[in-house]
Amino acid sequence: MFKPNDKIMIAVSGGKDSIALLHILLKIEKAFPKASLCAVTVDEGIIGYRDEALKFAIDNCKKLGINHAVTSFKELYSYSLDKIVKVTSEKGESGRGLTPCAYCGVLRRRALNLAARKGGVDKLATAHNLDDETQTILLNILHGDALRMARVKPVLADVHPKFVQRVKPLCEVPEKEVALYAYLKRIEFQGIPCPYASTALRNDIRVMLNRMEEKHAGVKFTLIKSIERIRPTLEAVAEEVKLQECRNCGEPTVGKICKPCQMLRKLDIR
């Protein structure tokens, strides 16, 4: 996942997973003098949620002496997520399946990649845990995008020079264990959930998987291990994705116009 001289940027939201990852990677990185760590937080603009989380991210980075950058939807796209949600609900967009999380996920991934490129780092580490990964696998199936499951893996392919390689060091660690680590280490993090989380299909999948895990311990591990086994077959049948640069913003994309530009154009806010 890492090389001894990697420059690593950690995506820190301010929640338990990302702050625990910050503490763990700092501890490991001390043994590798040629490696370096920094952090970034994306402020999506969710009043009463991200502003509080941002404070935890800033405080933890300060305490640990880690360089920390903050970027925001407002600064990058001219609109906060709250504003996007308002515009989409006024346009009746939310009823057609695009939840706040759909916008948030696409725009945040872009924001993180831009920050990582700006920071000149080799790897962008995110704090996705076992629960997140298994939810994503089922989400891909329920969205009818089964081949995408092959992309749920610890180290994402290095597909374009403009994409900073993403790695997920906690992807086999259950959420409960990350939470336990954070509590035992007395790490301060934001505990309240995002106000938009309940609107997402992911939330229903989370509840279902947790119920199953309680009754049949180990199902999350089994699911991720099953994907590992079928990944070579999935990758063999998936067409090779040819990336080009978006005609609007120049960022890498599979089509002519990238997803963030499509989303923002649809909102008539760009």
**10 touches which of ligand SF4, Zn ion, none (CB within 5 to 8 A by kind)?**
none
Residue located via tokens 């999935």 = 234
What number of chain residues touch ligand SF4 (CB under 6 A)? 9
Tokens of 10: 């950690």
Assess 170 for contact with ligand SF4 (CB under 6 A). no
Compute how many other C-beta atoms are within 10 angstroms of the C-beta atom of residue 190: 20
**Dihedral of the alpha carbons of 31, 35, 39, 40, in degrees to the nearest 10:** -160
**146 touches which of Zn ion, ligand SF4, none (CB within 5 to 8 A by kind)?**
none
Give the side-chain half-sphere CA count within 13 A for 158.
7
By CB under 5 A, the residues from 215 to 254 that bind Zn ion are 246, 248-249
- For ligand SF4, which is the closer residue by CB, 84 or 182? 84
Binding to ligand SF4 by CB under 6 A, coded x per residue (else -) over 186-225, reads --------x-xx--x-------------------------
- For Zn ion, which is the closer residue by CB, 23 or 160? 160
Instruction: Give 150's strand partners.
Output: none
Q: Give 234's contacts (C-beta < 8 A, 6+ positions apart).
A: 146, 147, 149, 150
By CB under 5 A, the residues from 68 to 97 that bind Zn ion are none
By CB under 6 A, the residues from 86 to 145 that bind ligand SF4 are 100-101, 104-105
Q: How far is the CB of 171 from ligand SF4 (least distance, A)?
A: 17
Q: How far is CA 1 from the centre of its chain?
A: 17
- For ligand SF4, which is the closer residue by CB, 108 or 123? 108
d(CA 84, CA 88): 6
Binder to Zn ion among 66, 182, 261, 263 (CB under 5 A)? 261
- For Zn ion, which is the closer residue by CB, 9 or 114? 114
Q: Give 225's contacts (C-beta < 8 A, 6+ positions apart).
A: none
**261 touches which of ligand SF4, Zn ion, none (CB within 5 to 8 A by kind)?**
Zn ion
Conformation bin of residue 72: beta by default, left when phi > 0, alpha when psi is -120 to 50: beta
Q: Among 26, 104, 101, which Cα is nearest to 61's?
A: 26
Applying CB under 6 A, the residues found at the interface with ligand SF4 are 44, 100-101, 104-105, 194, 196-197, 200
Binding site for Zn ion (CB under 5 A): 246, 248-249, 258, 261
